[in-house]
């Protein structure tokens, strides 16, 4: 009998406990799929001071875990929860994690994010070591976990428990790299020999993301298109140049969504259930959303939604530039998100100009997100860059049609709807401009106004499969590839 693969997944976010973006959804849904496939899975995240975590059922499994941090040892406590067929471990330290946000203000982040996440990385490895927990592979997500591959090959390289442990490092967005001053190296306990362009430094800074790229066994990002976009930048971007040099170890695996949690046929957050075969409940969900938001909208008119982290990378500045023109169209608009406080304030101010037609919500919740995806007719995704994107998958699942910029994973998964052939699943624009956005939105509305064609389109997109069934198995293949690489087995 084949030995069960043991995987530790390390993440700074986990839905619904701590979420700033789509990583949180991946970090909670991928382990469920892996466990269903027979893998033994454990997930590690920080125990932030958040209401969602405070009310989550968990128990202390290690009251005292002493973690090296520079020249000192810092105490952690470890909690355990079992949200499904896998174990969730939360690393607790009031000094580092009792904060209102995950990373800090959008403009700067917390000033001690270097120490916070170096501590978290070391704590994960110390917990595994002290409790003699064997794993075959550690799957790290984004820059806050990127030093685990580094520590495995330095501080922990002589421990038999870690000798053959492989690493996969997933880049969900290369724009966020974890850049810190050279002095941050002191928290790692590594000497200055590691602060070189071949290892941890990039442009004279300590770059966490680069560290993960250099030391991980296998690297991947979250769509083929985004992988190509990263590689294309190689001439002007040193990080991209590094990735081009790691071609034999650099892959792409598209993200998926959990079809049990995101299912309009039995979604507890919705006022009515519906399926592709019977869409009547979607109209009731639209009525419910209109009522909850206080919108003044004829049910026959389109309701446009946007759910995003408020930042220029998500195209919120483009929305602000386009907003007057959007609101001249015969629709209502709901925007939901958090992030850059200046952008949020500008959106709130704009909503006062269009009372009853434009609503901006900055208190995100699972219930509201589900209601928006179910109750809206159209979903705007105007991203400046989008490595994969999950919102289009949620929209498809709930029969809401995306209007998106053709970039990254959006370009890969949203195919332009053709009125003649009736093929395609959304409406796209290429240029990052109000003119291009408005043109795509007007095209979508013109199809919306042809009710028979629109209903056919809605039914077709709901029948697509963007679950973990395919990408989840690709991750398992990637894990075996990383394990073989660590063992020195020649790659095919």
Q: Answer yes or no: do 478 and 453 share one domain.
A: no
Helix (H, G, I), strand (E, B) or coil at 146: coil
Which pair of structure tokens corresponds to residue 283? 């109209």
Domain presence at residue 327: yes
Distance linking the first and last C-alpha atoms of the chain = 24
Does residue 269 sit within a domain?
A: no
- Distance of alpha carbon 28 from alpha carbon 11, whole angstroms: 10
Containing 473, the helix (H) or strand (E) segment is helix 471-487
For residue 490, give both structure tokens.
């020649």
Domain assignment present for residue 262? The answer is no
- Residue 233 Cα to chain centre, angstroms: 22
Encoded tokens for 262: 């995101």
Residue 50 has a pLDDT of: 87
Do 164 and 312 have their domain in common? Answer: no
- Whether 127 maps to a domain, the answer reads yes
From the number of C-beta atoms within 10 Å of its C-beta (0-12, 13-18, 19+), residue 349 rates as exposed
Across the range 345-372, mean pLDDT stands at 93
Which pLDDT score is estimated for 203? 87
Across the beta sheet with 179-180, what order do the strands follow? Answer: 179-180, 205-207, 201-202
Q: Is residue 333 part of a domain?
A: yes
Would you say residue 267 lies in a domain?
no
184 and 127 housed in the same domain: yes
At residue 1, the pLDDT reads 43
CA 466 to chain CA mean position, Å: 15
What pLDDT is recorded for position 234? 53
The pLDDT > 70 percentage for the chain reads: 98
Residues 377 and 455 both lie in one domain: yes
Of 51-55, 139-143, 286-290, which range is least confident? 51-55
Per-chain mean pLDDT for the chain: 94
- Match 């724009």 to its residue by tokens: 175
Same domain for 291 and 184, yes or no, is no
Ramachandran sector of residue 142 (left: φ over 0; alpha: ψ -120 to 50; beta: rest): left
134 with 153, same domain? yes
pLDDT > 90? residue 304: yes
Q: Is the pLDDT of residue 391 over 60?
A: yes
Number of Cβ atoms within 10 Å of the Cβ of 472: 21
The stretch 38-42 carries a mean pLDDT of 97
Please tell me whether residues 402 and 480 are part of one structural domain: no
**Using one digit for the tens of pLDDT, what is the confidence trace for 48-79?**
998 889 999 999 999 999 999 999 999 999 99
Residue in the structure block whose two tokens are 């990052």: 432
Structure tokens at 10: 């390390």
Lowest mean pLDDT among 225-234, 350-359, 381-390: 225-234
Instruction: Tell me how far apart the alpha carbons of residues 448 and 414 are, in angstroms, rounded to a whole number.
Output: 17
Window from 61-65, 361-365, 382-386, 409-413 with minimum mean pLDDT: 361-365
What average pLDDT score do residues 77-82 get? 96
Beta strand ranges found along 71-134 (DSSP E): 72-81, 87-92
Q: Does residue 271 belong to any structural domain of this protein?
A: no
The answer to whether residues 11 and 48 touch, using CB atoms and an 8 Å cutoff, is: no
Q: Which domain holds residue 42?
A: 6-256+469-487
Same domain, 249 and 287: no
Task: Give the distance, in angstroms, between the CA of residue 440 and the centroid of all CA atoms in the same chain.
Answer: 26
Alpha-helical regions (H) of 267-399: 280-293, 316-327, 341-353, 366-375, 391-397
Distance CA 53, CA 19 (A): 11
* Locus of tokens 């170890």: 249
Quick: pLDDT tens for 157-181. Answer: 999 999 999 999 999 998 889 999 9
User: Is the bond preceding 44 in cis, omega lying within 30 degrees of 0?
Assistant: no
Average pLDDT over residues 91-117: 92
The whole-angstrom distance between residue 165's C-alpha and the CA centroid of its chain comes to: 25
Element (H, E) at 429: strand 427-429
Give the residue among 19, 388, 385, 15 at the shortest CA–CA distance from 237. Answer: 385
CA angle (53, 58, 59) in 5-degree steps: 135
pTM of this prediction?
0.93
CATH of the domain at 351: 3.40.50.2000
In a domain, 293, yes or no: yes
| CA separation for the pair 383, 402 (Å, rounded) | 12
pLDDT of 43 strictly over 60? yes
**Could you tell me the strand order of the sheet in which 6-10 lies?**
59-69, 72-81, 87-92, 40-46, 6-10, 137-141, 166-171, 218-221, 250-252
Distance from C-alpha of 147 to C-alpha of 206, rounded to nearest angstrom = 11
Residues 248-285: tens digit of each pLDDT: 899 999 999 999 999 999 999 999 999 999 999 999 99
Which residues sit opposite 169 in a β-bridge?
140, 219
Min mean pLDDT across 59-68, 101-110, 363-372 is at 101-110
C-alpha to C-alpha distance for 171 and 141, rounded to whole angstroms: 7
Over residues 321-333, the pLDDT tens digits come to: 999 999 999 899 9
Average pLDDT over residues 111-124: 97
Structure confidence at residue 146 (pLDDT):
97
pLDDT tier at 2, thresholds 50, 70, 90: low
Q: Are 149 and 76 found together in one domain?
A: yes
Whether residues 376 and 294 share a domain: the answer is yes
Domain count, the chain: 2
Average pLDDT over residues 337-346: 91
* Same structural domain, 86 and 136: yes
Does 64 share its domain with 111?
yes
């Amino acid at each position: 009998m084949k030995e069960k693969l043991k995987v530790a997944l390390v993440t700074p976010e986990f839905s619904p406990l701590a979420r700033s973006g789509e990583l949180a959804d991946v970090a909670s849904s991928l382990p469920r799929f892996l466990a269903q496939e027979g893998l033994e899975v454990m997930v590690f995240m920080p125990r932030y001071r958040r209401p969602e975590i405070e009310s989550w059922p968990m128990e202390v499994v290690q009251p005292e875990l002493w973690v090296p941090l520079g020249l000192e040892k810092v105490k952690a406590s470890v909690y355990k929860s079992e949200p499904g067929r896998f174990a969730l471990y939360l690393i607790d330290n009031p000094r580092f994690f009792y904060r209102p946000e995950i990373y800090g203000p959008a403009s700067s982040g917390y000033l001690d994010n270097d120490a916070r996440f170096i501590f978290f990385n070391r704590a994960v490895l110390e917990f595994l070591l002290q409790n003699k927990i064997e794993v075959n592979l550690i799957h790290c997500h984004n820059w806050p976990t990127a030093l685990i591959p580094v520590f495995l090959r330095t501080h922990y390289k002589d421990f038999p428990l870690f000798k053959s442990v492989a690493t996969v490092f997933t880049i969900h967005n290369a724009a966020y790299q974890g850049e810190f001053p050279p002095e941050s190296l002191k928290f790692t306990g590594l000497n200055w020999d590691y602060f070189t362009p071949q290892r941890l430094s990039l442009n004279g800074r300590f770059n966490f993301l680069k560290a993960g790229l250099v030391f991980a066994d296998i690297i991947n990002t979250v769509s083929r298109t985004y992988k190509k976009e990263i590689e294309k930048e190689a001439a002007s971007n040193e990080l991209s140049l590094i990735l081009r040099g790691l071609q034999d170890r650099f892959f792409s695996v598209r993200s998926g969504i959990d079809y049990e949690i995101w299912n309009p046929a039995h979604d507890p957050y919705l006022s009515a259930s519906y399926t592709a075969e019977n869409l009547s409940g979607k109209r009731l969900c639209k009525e419910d959303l209109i009522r909850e938001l206080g919108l003044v909208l004829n049910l026959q008119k389109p309701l446009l939604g946007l759910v995003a982290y408020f930042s220029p990378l998500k195209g919120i500045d483009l929305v602000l530039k386009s907003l007057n023109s959007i609101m001249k169209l015969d629709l209502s608009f709901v925007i939901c998100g958090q992030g850059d406080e200046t952008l949020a304030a500008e959106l709130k101010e704009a909503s006062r100009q269009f009372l009853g037609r434009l609503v901006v919500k900055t208190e995100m919740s699972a219930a509201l997100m589900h209601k928006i995806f179910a109750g809206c007719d159209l979903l705007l995704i105007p991203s400046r860059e989008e490595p994969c994107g999950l919102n289009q998958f949620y929209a498809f699942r709930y029969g809401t049609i995306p209007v998106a910029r053709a970039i990254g994973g959006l370009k890969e998964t949203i195919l332009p709807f053709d009125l003649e052939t009736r093929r395609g699943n959304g409406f796209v624009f290429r240029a990052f401009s109000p003119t291009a956005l408005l043109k795509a939105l007007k095209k979508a509305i013109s199809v919306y106004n042809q009710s028979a064609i629109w209903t056919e389109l809605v039914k077709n997109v709901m029948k697509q499969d963007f679950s973990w069934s395919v990408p989840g198995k690709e991750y398992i293949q990637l894990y075996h590839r990383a394990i073989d690489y660590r063992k020195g087995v020649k790659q095919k």
